[in-house]
Amino acid sequence: DTAVSQTPKYLVTQMGNDKSIKCEQNLGHDTMYWYKQDSKKFLKIMFSYNNKELIINETVPNRFSPKSPDKAHLNLHINSLELGDSAVYFCASSLAGGPKTQYFGPGTRLLVL
């Protein structure tokens, strides 16, 4: 049973395209996150949602638009992709009561050509 799953695992696309990444968790958590990990392995939070409500938005360009249709899903849509968007995007989830319970998905490797 996969706790936090992401699709697709790999995404190769041209500059200027629009793409979406999907995330689902079956842990019953109420908070979900999107992180970006650059080529140097630096992991930085982008967004968090609690019970479908946007809680954290870390000055991410508005080309990135998260959407949470329900507590178990958090999707990330990226418009007008740029070269600098190439990275690994991780979804994570946790219970609101503690960061110690944050579980990460396997990541989506995005390469913008």
Partner 1 sequence: QKEVEQDPGPLSVPEGAIVSLNCTYSNSAFQYFMWYRQYSRKGPELLMYTYSSGNKEDGRFTAQVDKSSKYISLFIRDSQPSDSATYLCAMSANTGANSKLTFGKGITLSVRP
Contact pick of 66, 90, 93, 110 for partner 1 (by CB under 8 A): 90
Contact pick of 15, 55, 111, 113 for partner 1 (by CB under 8 A): 55
Contact pick of 23, 105, 110, 112 for partner 1 (by CB under 8 A): 105
Considering the rule CB under 8 A, would residue 12 count as an interface residue with partner 1? Answer: no
Which of these, 52, 49, 51, 82, lies nearest to 64 by C-alpha position?
82
Contact pick of 1, 28, 39, 40 for partner 1 (by CB under 8 A): 40
Name, in order, each residue with C-beta under 8 angstroms of 50's C-beta and a sequence gap of 6 or more.
30, 31, 96
Considering the rule CB under 8 A, would residue 104 count as an interface residue with partner 1? Answer: yes
- CA angle 31-39-101, nearest 5°? 25
In this chain, which stretch among 12-20, 27-35, 61-69, 78-86 interacts with partner 1, using CB under 8 A? 27-35
**What distance, in Å, lies between the first and last C-alpha atoms of the chain?**
34
SS3 for 42?
coil
- Asked whether 41 and 50 are in contact (CB, 8 A), the reply is no
* Minimum separation from the CB atom of position 80 to partner 1 (A): 27
Contact residues for partner 1, defined by CB under 8 A = 4, 30-31, 33, 40-45, 48, 50, 55-56, 58, 90, 92, 96-107
